[in-house]
Structure 1
Amino acid sequence: MKKEIHPEYQEAVIKCACGSELRTRSTAKEMHVNTCAHCHPFFTGKAKYIDTEGRVERFQKRYAKFMNK
């Protein structure tokens, strides 16, 4: 490895908008994120599922004439 061309690897803090902090190592000293594993709806179990019922049936009905050929 060449000396003096690599960025300094140091302790870093990742701060979330919810107030959660994660300590790690990085070339950046501090990072800010909007969501993390503590506040993201998928990980907290509060995810809202979009109602997709009927989409497959609508697709099959629309393209049935192409599938029959």
Structure 2
Amino acid sequence: MKKDIHPEYHEITVTMTDGTEFKTRSTMKGDSIRLDIDPKSHPAWTGVHRLMDTGGQLAKFNKRFANFGLKRGE
């Protein structure tokens, strides 16, 4: 195995969306990471589907594609 080509493997603190923390090891730079999505909040694990409009993206999408699709009454 070649020497000095692998990144440093060190301990980091992971902060979940609800504020709980745990320690793990990673090659990521820095000593902590804050998650935006985790198994406690993601619909794939919770079964609760909700649309979150971040920065108006959902409204922008709906406005752009409001008239797209099948025409009714034909």
- TM-score normalized by structure 2? 0.47
Decide which structure has greater helix share.
Answer: 1
Structure number with greater Rg is: 1
Given the two structures, how large is their TM-score scaled by the length of structure 1? 0.49
